[in-house]
Chain A
Amino acid sequence: MSVQQDQHQESSTNSTNANPSKDTTHFGYQTVDKNEKESKVASVFHSVAAQYDVMNDLMSFGIHRLWKRFTIDASGVRPGNKVLDLAGGTGDLTAKFSQLVGREGKVILADINSSMLNVGRDKLRDKGLVQNIEYVQANAQYLPFEDNTFDVVTIAFGLRNVTDKDMALRSIYRVLKPGGRLLVLEFSKPEHEVISKVYDFYSFNILPKMGELVAKDGESYQYLAESIRMHPDQETLKGMMDNAGFEQTSFKNLTGGVVALHKGYKF
């Protein structure tokens, strides 16, 4: 449950979310100017970066580690691969990928938010993971990499915050090698009504209070809950990936659909 991230946006194809105009977008439940959203999201992540990992563990009861493990297992990564961990934040996925791709491989931890990137870099260096990791401050919509560069691209709990998701998906498609795959781990729509109600209560009543107590920032966690609701559901996101050019797209619901892992290939 990475509850946060660095980029953002919103999708024109989002069925849950009527876009008032092409110059505006959503920041949680608010409608804001597109240019404004990026700075607003940036301020959220600058604010929570230091407590990000602690809050993730607290809010998800540690389950986010299993979701990330599931992503790693679904990635099919192998030694020598080049991996882009987009919106990688504090580097949980990067740490595992780094160990799996080995010395011959490379992992790029990219994030639009410098505070998150700094926290991630410090954490990974403290773990002794330095050999095959590079750090890049990058916007998912305009990835600063050549075409056909990566074997695997992951974006975990980051797509939700990207301002133009379609553009980001096209950008990811461009940098993937033929045969490469994209994995999107993101909050989604719970499969059952009961789970949905419990989840809503938790998100809007308990989560902001936890944010207030631990990270001294309830508002950021209020944004988190709202941004999850504004994010496209499973089928919509799958359609967006299809539109961006991905093939054999599929998704797997985790924890009753609270989170979903979408996967698509570039051929």
Chain B
Amino acid sequence: MHPQVLCSTVELTVNQALSLNIHGLDQLKTLEQKTLTVQLAEFNFPLSFTVNQKQVLVTTLTQHSNCTIVTSIKTLMALKSEQQNHQALSITEMIKQEKLDLQGDLKVAQQFAAIAESLEIDWQNELAKHIGDIPTYKLTQLGKFISNKISFANQQIQADASEWLVHEQRLVVASNQLSNFKESVIDLSQQTEHLAQRIDTLLSKFSQSSEQ
């Protein structure tokens, strides 16, 4: 019954998140009675998301799916990462590599993705309903302070580690050294190609003169 546990958890989470979405549930209207099925390589069962009356039902039923995506969590993560880095999506490339398979109405998948991307929850507002405005404000300030501190510490540690590895211990080459090396390799490669062309020319001249 593991699929049912997962379906139940996902359904609860998705509907809870949708109910907290500050943009409301109107976007779901366009997907009424539409089903998106996701078959992940990591699971031996599909997950079907059906929209009904502003709710999302999660089942393992595949009898009626408007769009089916066969992929893996790894591929989805890679896609998301490319989107975040504003790189061109390589969906076609992934389909060619058989990492992703899309069947049915792609628009349905896009609409589901658009809803997921537009999901925005005002956590402060939600928290304030439970603990009050002032504690929420204080807690948020504390959260920001801790987050900044962690971010700063993270940057500092990275810089220090880099300094130590590159300059003090000389265990890792610096980026400019690496680019110099790359340029040298490219130069050498070009020279080798040039030399090869000359040898070919000389060989062809030699063979012509020996024939005469």
Which residue numbers of A lie inside 8 Å of B, CB to CB?
A: 65-67, 69-70, 72-73, 75-79, 96, 99-100, 102-103, 128-129, 254-255
Is A66 a contact partner of B50 (Cβ separation < 8 A)? Answer: no
Q: Is B57 interfacial (CB-CB < 8 Å)? A: yes
Is A96 a contact partner of B57 (Cβ separation < 8 A)? Answer: yes
Known A65-B8, A66-B8, A70-B1; contact A99-B53, beta-carbon cutoff 8 A = yes
Q: Is B37 interfacial (CB-CB < 8 Å)? A: no
Contact of B33 (CB < 8 Å), options: A65, A75, A103: A103
Is B53 a contact partner of A76 (Cβ separation < 8 A)? Answer: no
Q: Which residues of B contact A77 (CB under 8 A)?
A: 61, 63
Query: What's the nearest-Cβ distance from chain B to residue A187, in Å?
Result: 16
Mark interface residues in B1-30 (1 if CB within 8 Å of A CB, else 0). 101110110000000000000000000000
Known A78-B64, A79-B64; contact A100-B5, beta-carbon cutoff 8 A = no
A6 to B61 alpha-carbon distance, docked (Å)? 29
Which residue numbers of B lie inside 8 Å of A, CB to CB?
A: 1, 3-5, 7-8, 33, 50, 52-53, 55, 57, 59-61, 63-64
Is B1 a contact partner of A100 (Cβ separation < 8 A)? Answer: no
A183 to B64 alpha-carbon distance, docked (Å)? 19
Is B4 a contact partner of A69 (Cβ separation < 8 A)? Answer: yes
Q: Which residue of A lies closest to B52 (CB)?
A: A99
Is B3 a contact partner of A73 (Cβ separation < 8 A)? Answer: yes
Is B7 a contact partner of A100 (Cβ separation < 8 A)? Answer: no
Contact of A102 (CB < 8 Å), options: B8, B52, B61: B52
Known A66-B1, A99-B53, A254-B1; contact A72-B59, beta-carbon cutoff 8 A = yes
Query: What's the nearest-Cβ distance from chain A to residue B72, in Å?
Result: 22
A77 to B61 alpha-carbon distance, docked (Å)? 8
Is A76 a contact partner of B7 (Cβ separation < 8 A)? Answer: no
Q: Which residues of A contact B55 (CB under 8 A)?
A: 99
A100 to B59 alpha-carbon distance, docked (Å)? 10
Q: Which residues of B contact A100 (CB under 8 A)?
A: 50, 52, 57, 59, 61
Majority SS of interface residues in chain B? Answer: mixed
Q: Which residues of A contact B5 (CB under 8 A)?
A: 66
A220 to B5 alpha-carbon distance, docked (Å)? 30
User: Which of the listed residues B1, B3, B7, B60 has the most CB atoms from chain A within 10 Å of its own CB?
Assistant: B1
Query: What's the nearest-Cβ distance from chain A to residue B49, in Å?
Result: 12
Q: Which residues of B contact A79 (CB under 8 A)?
A: 33, 64
Query: What's the nearest-Cβ distance from chain B to residue A233, in Å?
Result: 20
A76 to B59 alpha-carbon distance, docked (Å)? 11
Q: Which residues of A contact B3 (CB under 8 A)?
A: 73
Q: Which 10 A-B pairs have the closest CB atoms?
A: A99-B52, A78-B64, A69-B4, A78-B63, A66-B4, A73-B60, A102-B33, A66-B1, A70-B4, A76-B63
A66 to B104 alpha-carbon distance, docked (Å)? 30
A73 to B57 alpha-carbon distance, docked (Å)? 12
Query: What's the nearest-Cβ distance from chain A to residue B108, in Å?
Result: 14
User: Which of the listed residues A67, A72, A73, A102 has the most CB atoms from chain B within 10 Å of its own CB?
Assistant: A73
Query: What's the nearest-Cβ distance from chain A to residue B31, in Å?
Result: 12
Q: Which residues of A contact B64 (CB under 8 A)?
A: 78-79
9 contacts between A and B (CB under 8 A): A66-B1, A69-B8, A72-B59, A73-B61, A77-B61, A99-B50, A99-B55, A100-B52, A102-B33
